[in-house]
Structure 1
Amino acid sequence: MTTERTPVSRTRAQRSQDSRARILDAAVACLIDGGYSGATTLTIQSEAAVSRGRLLHHFPSRDRLLVAAAQHLAVKRVADTEERVRRVVEQNPPADVFERADRVIELLWESFSEPHFWASIELWTAARVNGEIADALRPEEKRLGAAIRASMARMFGEELASRPRFKQLRDLLLTSMRGTSLTYTFEPRDPRADAMLAQWKDLARLLLGR
């Protein structure tokens, strides 16, 4: 009997997993397209093409759904950025550790113009006046922050990540890139030509030894 039930159980589990993923993807799309106020459960339900019952089964709270969606995408983007760095380094090995740092900074900066960043900003802004979303966001951001810090150490490589002022550089890059990205909301431009990019690279040399 157990053998007969297993395929059915797996199929149901897979269907549940697929519908959850669709809901998360739909929530991110709604956050990006309509902002926090536009990402209603009805809009998300329609975008995901799931029933009301299915949506509420996975996420009884709208705010927790939005937090889960943004974090889900952000974790994926952290992994994707790290993988891009790995491929770039393998395909065209840098001449030295600072050339590697330049490439990491370029790819890291690219990630601040991607959907996950804007979805997270929508939630951060909402959290200022919404206690429920702030409570849901706080532990998730702590976990995400730890994942980002670990990923950055791997991307820069052991030689640079072990230097005394690496943590200072890491935190300055993250906060500065976040702030610079926000100016793009009212002044769209090509991020690859941003004057800050050269300054971040200079900062890496200054803090890490050259």
Structure 2
Amino acid sequence: MSSREPKQDRSRATRQRLLEATIDCLADQGWEATTVTAAAQRAGVSRGAAQHHFPAREDLITAALEHMFDARMAEIRAESTRLPEGPGRTEFVVSRVVDHYTGELFKAALQVWTAAAADPSLRERIVPLEAKFGRTVHQTAIELLGADDTDPTTRRLVQATLDLARGLGLADVLTDDSARRQNIVTQWAATLHAALPQS
């Protein structure tokens, strides 16, 4: 049993490096350049080891997106355990949602969504994944805000926050938009806090 554990640990570590390298490769070089070989090289593992975990590029890329998304949502939830109440909490939530859509994961995902728009077989894999991501971000925002998701106004306001964050993410793809973005985050957080129904 003990002889298997180090091998399993190495296998998990290899897989983790591949997933992280895939996101970096997508964000830096785009869909066409992100092959299993390119990810393996970036991760410092052999192509054979990479293909053992992920036989096809689509397997690797969808697994990387899902893994990194889940990790990011877990980080956001962990950060939220010591949040203040009131406007500070609302600004934290808006900031984290915007950070999600302006980070490397969103840039990587955008490459995949664009490729999927022109590739029906890839689109079949990506549409359910994107739907899952959207639902999870929405639910996470609701939880962190401590808001009532059964209230239609709350649902619309949170969806507007996600749409705003996605737009800010697109604005940041080609140029650094951070200074303008911070002003928008601060203003929208104040607006959102005032508009959310108070329990």
TM-score normalised per structure 2: 0.86
Residue 30 of structure 2 aligns to a residue in which SS?
helix
Seen in structure 2, the aligned counterparts of structure 1 residues 48 and 202 have a Cα distance that, compared at 3 Å, is same
Q: Deviation digits for residues 117-166 of structure 1, max 9, x if unmatched?
A: 11111111111012232222233233333332332222111xx2356122
CA distance in 2, matches of 1:20, 1:71: 13
Seen in structure 2, the aligned counterparts of structure 1 residues 142 and 202 have a Cα distance that, compared at 3 Å, is same
> Is 1:11–2:15 an aligned residue pair?
no
Seen in structure 2, the aligned counterparts of structure 1 residues 18 and 193 have a Cα distance that, compared at 3 Å, is closer
CA distance in 2, matches of 1:22, 1:32: 15
Q: Which runs of 4+ in 1 moved over 4 A?
A: none
Q: Which amino acid aligns with 2:48?
A: G
Which residue among 67, 82, 94 is the counterpart of 1:105?
94
> Is 1:185–2:163 an aligned residue pair?
no
Q: Is the CA contact 1:101–1:156 (under 8 Å) kept in the aligned structure 2?
A: yes
CA distance in 2, matches of 1:20, 1:168: 38
> Is 1:36–2:36 an aligned residue pair?
no
> Is 1:66–2:61 an aligned residue pair?
yes
Q: Which amino acid aligns with 1:156?
A: L
Residue matched to 1:3: none
Q: Is the CA contact 2:62–2:126 (under 8 Å) kept in the aligned structure 1?
A: yes
How many aligned positions are there? 197
CA distance in 2, matches of 1:193, 1:23: 33
CA distance in 1, matches of 2:27, 2:66: 14
Residue matched to 1:173: 161
Q: Is the CA contact 2:19–2:63 (under 8 Å) kept in the aligned structure 1?
A: yes
CA distance in 2, matches of 1:24, 1:186: 24
Seen in structure 2, the aligned counterparts of structure 1 residues 78 and 45 have a Cα distance that, compared at 3 Å, is same
Query: Bigger radius of gyration, 1 or 2?
Result: 1
Q: Is the CA contact 2:98–2:166 (under 8 Å) kept in the aligned structure 1?
A: no
TM-superposed deviation, 1:28: 1.0
CA distance in 2, matches of 1:126, 1:52: 23
> Is 1:114–2:109 an aligned residue pair?
no
Which residue among 70, 73, 76 is the counterpart of 2:71?
76
Residue matched to 1:148: 137
Q: Is the CA contact 1:64–1:133 (under 8 Å) kept in the aligned structure 2?
A: no
Residue 208 of structure 1 aligns to a residue in which SS?
coil
Residue matched to 1:46: 41
Q: Is the CA contact 1:63–1:132 (under 8 Å) kept in the aligned structure 2?
A: no
Which residue among 123, 126, 137 is the counterpart of 1:134?
123
CA distance in 1, matches of 2:92, 2:10: 40
Q: Is the CA contact 2:101–2:168 (under 8 Å) kept in the aligned structure 1?
A: no
Q: Which amino acid aligns with 2:148?
A: A
TM-score normalised per structure 1: 0.82
Seen in structure 2, the aligned counterparts of structure 1 residues 204 and 131 have a Cα distance that, compared at 3 Å, is farther
